[in-house]
Amino acid sequence: MLTRRHFLRTASIAGAAIATADLSFARYAPEKGRFAISLAEWSLHKALFKKEITNLDFPRLAKQEFGVTGLEYVNQFFKDKARDTAYLSDLKSRAEGFGLKNVLIMIDGEGMLGAPDAAARGKAVENHKPWIDAAKFLGCHAIRVNAASQGEYAEQQKLAADGLRRVGEYGASQGIHVIVENHGGLSSNGEWLAGVMTLVGMPGVGTLPDFGNFRVSREVEYDRYKGVTELMPFAKGVSAKSHDFDAQGNETHTDYKKMLDIVIASKYRGFIGIEYEGTTLGEHEGIKATRALLERHLQGYL
């Protein structure tokens, strides 16, 4: 169990790191307009897992097929390359060659940052550091992490805040944001995750509100509009999740106008990432349908 003394001590250390870091979000904002559209690589996960394409193909497809301006990578598709500077140089060159901005890397499978066991939590923190280095090398502004934990509500908040603060401290030293997605368990409870952000209290640690990931458990689904509203004050990215569309091109699970009005009402300026996870449309068609929906409701802001 975390003690108050340990909690405050780590907070003061993290604060000292931030004082010397350049975490100005303005330098990562779109070149024109308030928002720009990026593409989450997970939108192509079926083709990637089938080896029909590779991570190195992602920049070309993002530009030529979908016309986005930002890239959101997924570490699963170059899992052993975090320290491979030759590979990362190739990837960066491809993105730059298509005039694309590398936005972030989504990190999974590197341990539970809110693990109750201190050693496991510490190992998870260390596992995330090479990805911060990789993000910096690629010119991204952030890594996306998870805030999974175990135990009671308040204890999970403290544990997750401890792990996030420690990763955030290293991120701050490298000028890289650490952002948390609502991604299952209590992290899909907007009030819980907003509380974690308040506990962390670091400008370099924020959220990546996802329009669709509000399933807390099999029995409980958090209100997605309430959740995004609670997470937007901490947002350093937005994930426009989509699954299915009706004949008019509207997403059938999320009222995109209502959701994007919440984003517009916030102070956030930056990339909004397409993340298509549907099964009715193919991946390419689903990505294009999501982009069309974003463009419809963001007229005057792109």
Distances 57 to 61, 110, 264 between C-alpha atoms, Å? 6, 24, 32
State the Cα–Cα distance between residues 82 and 180, nearest whole angstrom. Answer: 20
Among the residues of 175-266, which ranges form H helices? 190-200, 224-231, 256-265
Give the DSSP H or E segment for 154. helix 153-174
In which residue are the tokens 């491809």 written? Answer: 94
pTM of the predicted structure, to 2 decimals: 0.92
Secondary structure letter of residue 168 according to DSSP: H
Question: What pLDDT was estimated at residue 32?
Answer: 83
Q: Are 161 and 198 in contact (CB under 8 A)?
A: no
d(CA 69, CA 39): 8
Across 10-14, 16-20, 182-186, the highest mean pLDDT is recorded for: 182-186
| Alpha carbon distance 153, 141 (integer Å) | 30
Asked whether the beta carbons of 128 and 113 are under 8 A apart, the reply is yes
Under a CB-based contact definition with an 8 Å cutoff, are residues 157 and 108 in contact? no
CA–CA gap between residue 221 and residue 274 (Å, rounded): 22
Q: Give the pLDDT score at 24.
A: 64
Asked if 273 and 40 touch (Cβ cutoff 8 Å), the reply is: yes
Q: Which helix (H) or strand (E) holds 104?
A: strand 101-106
DSSP bridge pairs for 242: 276
Single-letter amino acid, residue 60: R
Q: Which residues pair with 276 in a beta bridge?
A: 242
CA dist 204 and 61 (Å) reads 31
Render 226-246 in DSSP notation, one character per residue: HHHHHHGGGBS-EEEEE--B-
Tell me what the pLDDT averaged over the chain comes to: 93
Distance from C-alpha of 134 to C-alpha of 73, rounded to nearest angstrom:
11
The pLDDT tens digits of the residues spanning 45-74 come to 999 999 999 999 999 999 999 999 999 999
Mean pLDDT on 160-164:
98
**In this predicted model, what pLDDT tens digit does every residue of 97-134 receive, in sequence order?**
999 999 999 999 999 999 999 999 999 999 999 999 99
* Single-letter amino acid code for the residue at 72: E
CA distance 180 to 203: 13
Q: What is the mean pLDDT of residues 254-263?
A: 98
Percent of the chain topping pLDDT 90: 89
Structure tokens at 126: 């260390």
Return the residue matching tokens 């539970």.
112
Contact 227, 214 (CB under 8 A): yes
Contact 77, 43 (CB under 8 A): no
The answer to whether 220 and 257 are in contact (CB under 8 A) is: no
Residue 181, beta-bridge partner list: 208
pLDDT class for 2, splitting at 50, 70, 90? low
